[in-house]
Chain A
Amino acid sequence: MDAFLHQVFAGLATGGIYASLALALVMIYQATHLVNFAQGEMAMFCTYIAWSLMNAGMGYWPAFLLTVAFGFALGVAIERLVIRPVRHAPVLSTVVVFIALLVILNSVTGWIYSYTIKPFPSPFPASSFLGNRFMSPHELGSIGITFIVLALLYAFFRFTPLGLAMRAAAQNPESSRLVGIRVGWMLALGWGLASAIGAIAGMMIAPIVYLDPNMMGGILLYAFAAALLGGIDSPGGAVLGGFAMGVLENLLGAFVIGNELKLGVALVLIVGVLVVRPSGFFGKVHVTRV
């Protein structure tokens, strides 16, 4: 029973990270109907920036905040410079652009920082009152951070005029433009926010999987699965999907199929959800007019 509970809690901890990344995917999807294949590599790149800052002698939390700001700027810059020119292009072109971003970020990171695996510090003490039989302090702390991020986002979108404007721009760009919302900038802001969330997710997962340019490959896949499971246009669904995915992955890996086939779970889940219920559990069913 202890082993089971341990796996469940470890799953919740990684699930929180999948949830953050899935949320970042959903935010970009809602605004632009694009799936950002480069989300994982953007997060990875930001995590390396955090590593450099800390290596230069900065404390954890200042580096953390600076990295989040950098992630935001990176997201805005990518939207403005790379994504905007192809916003009316066919799906294939946008997919190619995302893949190009993915490989450029991956190889530039490898170029600057080499491909050797680096340890990444956790902000939480190795043992304290936070830790207990089932969870390490880092696991508990990263769940906490996930919830703080979610609460902040909820408050931002629910209670601020800017959040309202962003939701409006995503839902109905034409009408929003008519009432004076700068839709283009709202999209860029959305990208910035998504990228900043990704940066937080990257810094939370790095102490577990270690820092390496390819660290996000599998995690991005789980985040895709989580976003689809919850419904790719439902932020709440993505978060639930993320936690469910983390627990499912850990339990199946530990007790049913072994660690070697974990990524296969994500594949089966992605194909399964898309075929059986493409809108996920909480997504809207789309009807297209012919």
Chain B
Amino acid sequence: MTKKNFLVSIIFLLVVCALPFLVSDYRLFQLTLVLVYAIALLGLNMLTGYNGQISLGHGAFYAIGAYCAAILMDKYGVPYWATIPLAGIVCLVAGFLFGLPALRLEGLYLALATFALGVSLPQLLKYHHLEKWTGGVQGIVIAKPDAPAVFAQAGLPLSADHWLYYFTLAVTITMFVLGRNLLRGRVGRAMLAIRDNPIAAQAMGVDNALYKSLTFGVSAMYTGVAGALGAIAVQFVAPDSFNIFLSLAFLVGIVVGGLASIPGAIYGALFIQFVPNIADSISKAAPWAIFGVFMLVFVYVLPAGVAGAVQMALSRVRRNPRRVVP
């Protein structure tokens, strides 16, 4: 990281930390959800953008993470912060296991299988034998965590909303730093190699099967962590909030934000959180019509997404054509 980049990051971080004191509680809740979606989108982007495995059912892993957090808090009294790594581990295992059969599926077929997963999961969550844990159609209501007492003692009384935002921010930054290190290093290069030419990757000694199923696991883990955070933020889980359209919203997020791009996850999260808000005033159906049109426009006109456009604009400003991403 250059000195200039470091400075920019610090300023960005300060602004993000100051936001809770500048906006209303409802806006803050939305920003918390943006952070949550950003983690989920980074997870999906690892799988689809970096590794080339298409998933149309990542809402399922988000749901598993959310339900893990809700069940652990509601039935077993686990503190909210402890549910996040647990949800991550459960989703890591679930994703790895789904990734094993997915090894035999390529492109379109994987899209089909994950689509089926996304469509059928809400129905499985309603299954009456699981009702003791999942609460059936009614779902589970969970309590909003309070800020730790330390802050009040230090003379910094934080509201529950503010605390939730900072907590989510901390998790998001951790996940992004970990993700960046993973994707920029040896593992990330192997993932890209498998996407671009699996046979050549294999010939160079990359264990395709292992990397692909592990990528599936890690991707599901990210989405599961996001699901757990999302459940805590919304304080409610129910099967119908995790329908196929959630999975498709994630797809919209990575396509609009930018495939195989880390900042793309943040742009995508802002898009899927705020565009429906604006469009809702037109019609209940408008958000998805707009999502659909944006997907088409981005595929035809701007396949690198917002992240690609930003990078292109920056390199124009710097007059350094080498920085343009092909």
Contact = CB atoms under 8 A, between A and B. Distances in A.
Interface of A: 33-35, 37, 82, 85-86, 89, 91-93, 95-97, 99-104, 106-111, 115, 217-218, 221, 224-225, 228, 258, 260-264, 266-267, 270-271, 274-275, 278, 290
Nearest to B255: A96
A30 to B, nearest CB: 14
Given A111-B283, A267-B120, A290-B199, A261 B104 contact: no
A278 B104 contact: yes
A108 B283 CA distance: 10
A227 B259 CA distance: 30
A91 B284 CA distance: 31
Given A97-B295, A221-B120, A263-B120, A106 B288 contact: yes
Contacts of B120: 221, 263-264, 266-267
B16 to A, nearest CB: 30
A110 B104 contact: no
Interface string B106-128: 01110111011101100110111
Given A99-B251, A108-B285, A111-B286, A92 B123 contact: no
A96 B299 contact: yes
Given A85-B300, A262-B123, A290-B199, A217 B244 contact: yes
Nearest to A108: B289
B108 A35 contact: yes
25 contacts: A37-B111, A85-B300, A91-B111, A93-B299, A93-B303, A95-B56, A95-B108, A97-B295, A99-B295, A100-B291, A102-B292, A107-B287, A107-B288, A107-B289, A108-B289, A111-B283, A111-B284, A115-B284, A224-B112, A260-B123, A263-B119, A263-B123, A267-B120, A274-B112, A275-B101
A110 B284 contact: yes
Nearest to A260: B127
Contact of A271 (B48, B101, B295): B101
Contacts of A221: 115-116, 119-120
A110 B280 CA distance: 13
A34 B109 CA distance: 10
A111 B123 CA distance: 26
Interface of B: 48, 52, 54, 56, 101, 104-105, 107-109, 111-113, 115-117, 119-120, 123-124, 126-128, 199, 244-245, 248, 251, 255, 259, 283-289, 291-293, 295-296, 299-300, 303
A226 to B, nearest CB: 12
Best-buried of B105, B126, B199, B289 by chain A (most CB within 10 Å): B289
A274 B109 contact: yes
A264 B124 CA distance: 7
A16 to B, nearest CB: 21
Given A106-B288, A111-B283, A267-B117, A95 B111 contact: yes
Most chain-A CB neighbours within 10 Å: which of B120, B291, B293?
A: B120
Nearest to A263: B120
Contacts of B113: 270-271, 274
A115 B303 CA distance: 33
B108 A264 contact: no
| Residue of A109, A224, A275 with highest tally of chain B CB at under 10 A | A275
A32 B289 CA distance: 26
Given A92-B48, A96-B255, A217-B119, A35 B285 contact: no
A90 to B, nearest CB: 8
Nearest to A290: B199
Contacts of B244: 217
B191 to A, nearest CB: 15
Contacts of A110: 284-285, 288
Given A82-B296, A95-B111, A96-B255, A103 B291 contact: yes
Which of A92, A102, A110, A275 is most buried by chain B, counting CB atoms within 10 A of its CB?
A92
B101 A100 contact: no
Contacts of A258: 128
Contacts of B300: 85-86
Closest 6 CB pairs of A and B: A104-B292, A107-B288, A100-B295, A111-B285, A91-B107, A263-B120
A27 to B, nearest CB: 16
A217 B112 CA distance: 13
Given A99-B248, A224-B115, 7 more contacts: A95-B111, A96-B251, A100-B291, A100-B296, A260-B123, A262-B123, A267-B119
A91 B108 contact: yes
Contacts of B245: 103
